[in-house]
Amino acid sequence: MTADATAELDTFPKLLLRNEAVRPHRPAMRHKDLGIWREWSWADVARQVRCYALGLMAHGLQRGDKVAIIGTNRPKLYWSIMAAQSVGAIPVPVYSDAVADEMAYVLDHAEVRFACVQDQEQVDKILGVADRLPKIEIVFYDEPRGLRDYDHSRLQAIDAVIAQGAGILLSDPAAVKRLDEAIASGKGSDTSVILYTSGTTGRSKGVMLSAGGCVKAATDTVEFDRLTDRDNVIAYLPLAWVGDHYLNYAQALVAGFTINCPESPETAVEDRREIGTTFAFAPPRVYESMLTRIMIRMEDAGWLKRKMFHYYLGVAKKWGEKILDGKPVPLGARLNYALGEVLVYGPLKNVLGMTTIRIAYTAGEAIGPELFSFYRSIGLNLKQLYGQTEAFLYVTVQGDREVRADCVGPATPNVEIRIDENGEVLYKSPGQFIGYFKEPEKTAEAMTEDGYVRTGDAGFFEKDGQLRIIDRAKDVGKLRSGALFAPKYLENKLKFFPNIREVVAFGQGEEFVTCFINIDLTAVGNWAERNNVSYGSYQELAGHPQVYDIIAGHVAEVNRQLAEEPMMAHAQIRRFLVLHKELDADDGELTRTQKVRRGFIADRYGPLVTALYDGSTEADISTEVTFEDGRKGVISARVRVMDARVVPVSTPAAMPARAA
């Protein structure tokens, strides 16, 4: 391509051309298909994207058009993003597990003209709501299976579009010139992508991000973590989530590393092991389920192996983190740790697919200190970051040797952070969003007058300059006595117990704190098996008296911890119940990113909340549930309410509202 097209690298298509010129033969993407890893170099990808973009232009795609991207992580969907951006159109990735109704809202709101989708499932969803989406013209699909007999007047295979573009590339120099001009005329101030928020509160909003901002933000973190074109990532996070668009898409284009697409979402762990990724991200729950699985499997190992495993985990617990942080450690301990590496940590990391990981991040939820330390002690460089879609991910990030479990790190390079009077965290960042698509009032609400963005989270800086997040700013409330009530803080403390999967705490304006608890079926089910407790269903296990006793123990332990913290001592949990069904995104109880929607749950389970406060020992509830195929059913149950052990506190209850 021409030199002036790559003069200023402020858009992703320009970066793609740069990578094609600088590292044409380095692998850009891999995809496991039919059991074999297929590879595309940067030159291959650039060519495919060029053909794809020409094909899309032939179908009428123009600068400023919106193109929906729906599906799991596959090369052709990443190319769809690149091709759309090359033309100057704006990709709008959509959560592929969204039900048709949610999808219709986003597609309609974003004024999508074309959609690039993975397979029949997504095509069916769009066709199902087509009458509400008059603007959609053509749906392009990757997997042809099951689509052969569909009416193809508004349906096209992505392969066919690329092939069409390949023809144009050879035969129509004028069209090729138009594409080159479209790429060259792309500016840093253009909207590069619209990412819809997961909708923790109400309808999701379209976050518009600028090309220049995205590239700048990604460049900062690529430098911070010293990522190069030798690195490998596995792309398994939802395409529509800022994490995937940043960590995989943006950083890959900036650093030139390889994006590996798994065969299917279920094989991601196995595929990651095969590839040997060097940079990884996973939300805390993924680390947690990996650990739970390992621990359960170790219980079934022979006594010698089990003994060795637990002995060396002890060694790791004592010295591992110190060795990782480069602190002084006695020689004997070092040697013993090295032996442990050979016998336990190495094989363990191999099983987890972590052998080659240089940098691992977690974010999104608070991570349990034990869990966090476990991975670090066996030598995984696990760090935390804090961010949000509006910032184009990073707000704070922990450096390699400045890691702690309860904080999320100091500000990322070039990010400014300020704590508002009410404790809310505000920031200014290079990747910060342009605004919400078609919602200027909401944009204004999210900004301060001097241009800072409101995170909506309450937090404060620790002495060492690390930011500590305690809760959503609007969720931090008070009990009737005036004592501070931070629901998420309590919930997270409880969720650190493997037996507890989800917690919803109540207490705003009430006399005391109460909560709903969801048990973790894997952990509690395993316990039941070991202790000869038989159960027929989730509901039966959840209501089992012995399970209640275990959970009561956990709640008492959390109360003990809370009693030691002067600010939280009065927010101890007085009463709780174990829910008869798992909270589920399909029922609207969780967001698509698995965050609890507290207000919605309080409404839906109204009788249970009442029972928590009126002193009754059990309550009846029947709720509608949505099955995976969209059908509805009703679950009824009688749920037991239990009093928790509370540690008496003597200090007065009234506390300042500010957490900092």
Positions touching other proteins (CB under 8 A) are: 33-36, 145-146, 148-149, 263-264, 266-267, 270, 627-629
Distances in Å between the alpha carbon of 49 and those of 2, 174, 380, 611? 17, 18, 36, 59
Give, in order, the Cα–Cα distances in Å from 254 to each of 220, 230, 408, 414.
10, 13, 24, 17
- On whether the CB atoms of residues 495 and 519 are closer than 8 A, the answer is no
Query: From CA 535, how far away is CA 544, in angstroms rounded?
Result: 8
- Residue with Cβ nearer other proteins (150 or 600): 150
Q: How far is the CB of 264 from other proteins (least distance, A)?
A: 5
**Identity of the residue, 143 or 491, whose beta carbon is nearer to other proteins in the bound complex:** 143
Dihedral of CA 452/454/457/459: which sign?
Answer: positive
Residue 4 vs 149, nearer CB to other proteins: 149
Q: Which residue has the tokens 């704590």?
A: 419
Euclidean distance between CA atoms 655 and 170, whole angstroms:
73
Residue 108 identity (one-letter amino acid): D
Instruction: Indicate the residue among 10 and 119 with the shorter CB distance to other proteins.
Output: 119
Q: Name which of 273 and 404 has its Cβ closer to other proteins.
A: 273
SS (H, E, C) 463-498: CCCCEEEEEECCCCEECCCCCEECHHHHHHHHHCCC
CB of 266 to other proteins, least distance (A): 4
Residue 579 CB neighbour total at 10 angstroms: 26
CB of 635 to other proteins, least distance (A): 15
536 C-beta neighbours (distance < 10 Å), count: 7
- Cβ–Cβ < 8 Å for 225, 359: yes
Q: State the minimum distance, in angstroms, from the CB of residue 628 to other proteins.
A: 6
Of the two residues 34 and 304, which places its CB atom closer to other proteins in the complex? 34
Q: How far apart are CA 203 and CA 191, in angstroms?
A: 22
- Cβ proximity to other proteins, 4 vs 151, nearer residue: 151
Task: Considering the complex, state which of residue 75 and residue 487 has its C-beta at the smaller distance from other proteins.
Answer: 75
Burial level of 532, CB count in 10 A (0-12/13-18/19+)?
A: exposed
CB of 72 to other proteins, least distance (A): 12
CA distance 273 to 278: 11
Q: Cβ closer to other proteins: 265 or 652? A: 265
Q: How far is the CB of 32 from other proteins (least distance, A)?
A: 8
Q: How far is the CB of 274 from other proteins (least distance, A)?
A: 11
Cα Rg, the chain, nearest whole Å: 26
Least Å from the CB of residue 481 to other proteins: 49
CA distances from 597 to 45, 201, 591, 592, 653 (A): 41, 7, 7, 11, 28
Residue 38 vs residues 21, 27, 261, 273: alpha-carbon distances, Å: 22, 10, 10, 16
Alpha helices in 301-365 (DSSP H): 303-315, 321-324, 331-340, 346-352
Cβ neighbours of residue 13 closer than 8 Å, sequence gap 6 or more: 49, 82, 85, 86, 183, 186
CB of 279 vs other proteins, minimal distance in Å: 24
Tokens of 508: 């705003």
Please say which residue, 421 or 629, places its beta carbon nearer to other proteins: 629
Closest separation in Å from C-beta 249 to other proteins = 24
CB of 294 to other proteins, least distance (A): 18
Min separation Cβ 31 and other proteins, Å: 12
CA distance 369 to 362: 13
Shortest Cβ distance from residue 155 to other proteins (Å)?
A: 16
Q: Which is nearer to other proteins, 261 or 655 (CB)?
A: 261
Q: How far is the CB of 146 from other proteins (least distance, A)?
A: 6
- CA 476 distance to own-chain centroid: 23
End-to-end Cα separation, the chain, in angstroms = 54
Q: Which is nearer to other proteins, 266 or 614 (CB)?
A: 266
Axis crossing angle, helix 173-184 with helix 158-171, rounded to the nearest 10: 110
The residues near 435 (Cβ < 8 Å, ≥ 6 apart) are 208, 443
Q: What is the 3-state secondary structure (H, E, C) of 350-405?
A: HHHCCCCCCEEEECCCCCCHHHHHHHHHCCCCEEEEEEEHHHCEEEEECCCCCCCC
**Closer residue to other proteins, CB minimum distance, 105 or 150:** 150
What span, in angstroms and rounded, lies between the C-alpha atoms of 161 and 146?
Answer: 19
Give 145 or 463: the residue with its C-beta nearer to other proteins: 145
